[in-house]
Structure 1
């Protein structure tokens, strides 16, 4: 977390040139540039700037006021974060619903037509840009079939959730291929394990063997891979929001970059970085629930 705070603090200071001059534009006078530098605290020693930044984070949970609207960056982020978090949550759900059945079908039918098809699909999916997947979904399901809105977030009953399905599906389709490959590989390894042979010999129903034992044993490396891809998941959400015209953190970030609103850019970057840390930590907690040996170090 400390590394995240330092990195976000350095965002503004690592920008080539004078950030104050960039914000005000080419016609800015030296007086106005000096005034903005003082307002942003850029005329202070670096250690004092970092101290002020850290104190502001601890006391106000904020990176400063927007240079465009004058509102605290915290308020702007909290107003748009629920939409982005909704897409992230649905994306994880969709990725799991896509990866588990396909990986299971491939592992149970090893070297069969289903296995070959499932092994080809992730390779194709990895080569598709996320924004292109979003555009395809819009063309098929929004324009032609009219099942979902083209963009934006509706306000009617059930409309907010309905508006987030296509963006979340686009992110999930980009996230699922590595999960499918990892889970298939782990399932094949677990299916050949001795304890699975013993369970089958004891005539335990196959559905119970797969659901309670095989999937649970194979899920741990895939869960770790999902946590590693947390940055892709959150970054992909920001990009997809722009494609679908959704007013979430992605829209706020791109608008703030375009207007050189650095306090808001820093706030969004910090929020997303903290979210990545939280997702990774949650994955670690779930891993200990799936494999109790990790609590005592027995799984090392």
Structure 2
């Protein structure tokens, strides 16, 4: 297990190093002069020169990259050009919304998808299976931003059970904060639950057709017992992969939902930073999200080894 973990750590470090180079080149080098880009085409030369000095852009490309990476490693993400505040503080404030929202949505998605996928697989071809697959197909097809607006129309405007948007902050209390995140979390969770339920059903059906399941049935286990004791654990590998990808998407890809509900999260911060050409914020947040994605994938691979010991022995 230790050797397997070390190999995964080396892979994580290489992925982060490559990602940092790509992000740096894409944001600071390929577009040309970042200072001129941030100030626009009508900026004066002396203004551009002053901004270049302020942002530390007068050094060589290697010096700028080393300074940026060194700052990231020490927690110094630089100063936002637009907001004139440390980028690390801005990210910390936005993470208080995006991270709980992602966890909330992923929890709802898993709680919905696992029972639905298991039920559909255990009753293949029945009315329950057809109904669940039909509903999940509809969930995959519906855009989440349209579903979010529908949720606002029904539960915020007509029924007035929830607010239409905004976030009161965790200082207002746990219940008001979670209540304000409920509609966004459901809007994010239902499409993801549809995908996860279909993967769960497909993986379980493939596992139920294996020889060891037939052997278990021949020894006297019912189909439900064979599914619960043997098939479910062996079917989790592709499901865990999807869960890891979904968490990464929920953390980094909720830009539209955060704008629909006016949530001050990371997605909205990226959108606002791109609009205001605040490249320092963009590259720091993107690198942080890449780190989160790689870290989640690392956790999923470690979970693979815990679920399936064959991976540890093979490594």
Q: Is the 8 A contact 2:106 2:247 kept in 1?
A: no
- Select which of 292, 296, 300 maps to 2:309: 292
Inter-partner Cα distance in structure 2 for 1:149 and 1:199:
52
- Select which of 269, 275, 278 maps to 1:261: 278
* Mapping of residues 11-90 of structure 1, within 5 Å: 11-14=26-29, 16-58=31-73, 60-90=74-104
- Going from structure 1 to structure 2, the CA distance change for 1:258 and 1:15 (only over 3 Å counts) comes to farther
Inter-partner Cα distance in structure 2 for 1:137 and 1:236:
19
Inter-partner Cα distance in structure 2 for 1:288 and 1:145:
47
Q: Is the 8 A contact 1:130 1:236 kept in 2?
A: no
- Select which of 131, 136, 141 maps to 1:127: 141
- Select which of 228, 231, 237 maps to 2:254: 237
- Going from structure 1 to structure 2, the CA distance change for 1:175 and 1:143 (only over 3 Å counts) comes to same
CA RMSD of aligned residues (A): 2.3
Please say if 1:214 is aligned against 2:219: no
Shift of 1:197: 4.4
Shift of 1:229: 4.2
Q: Is the 8 A contact 2:248 2:296 kept in 1?
A: no
Tell me what 1:148 maps to.
162
Tell me what 1:184 maps to.
201
How many pairs align?
Answer: 297
Shift of 1:276: 0.6
Inter-partner Cα distance in structure 2 for 1:165 and 1:229:
18
Inter-partner Cα distance in structure 2 for 1:141 and 1:210:
38
Shift of 1:198: 4.7
Q: TM-score, normalised by structure 2?
A: 0.85
Shift of 1:76: 0.9
* Mapping of residues 88-167 of structure 1, within 5 Å: 88-154=102-168, 155-167=172-184
Inter-partner Cα distance in structure 1 for 2:157 and 2:232:
38
Shift of 1:17: 4.9
Instruction: List 4+ stretches of structure 1 deviating above 4 A.
Output: 197-209
- Going from structure 1 to structure 2, the CA distance change for 1:137 and 1:213 (only over 3 Å counts) comes to farther
Q: Is the 8 A contact 1:257 1:265 kept in 2?
A: yes
Inter-partner Cα distance in structure 1 for 2:307 and 2:161:
37
Q: TM-score, normalised by structure 1?
A: 0.89
Q: Is the 8 A contact 1:253 1:265 kept in 2?
A: yes
Shift of 1:83: 1.2
Inter-partner Cα distance in structure 2 for 1:234 and 1:240:
11
Gapped regions of structure 2 (runs ≥ 5): 1-15
Q: Is the 8 A contact 1:61 1:74 kept in 2?
A: yes
Shift of 1:158: 0.9
Q: Structure 1 stretch 12-21 or stretch 101-110: which is displaced more?
A: 12-21
Shift of 1:33: 0.7
Shift of 1:201: 5.6
Inter-partner Cα distance in structure 1 for 2:223 and 2:154:
38
User: Secondary structure of the residue that 1:158 maps to in structure 2?
Assistant: helix
Note the alpha carbon deviations across 1:15-66, whole angstroms, 9 max, x for none.
53533223223442110011112222333221222122222222x3233111
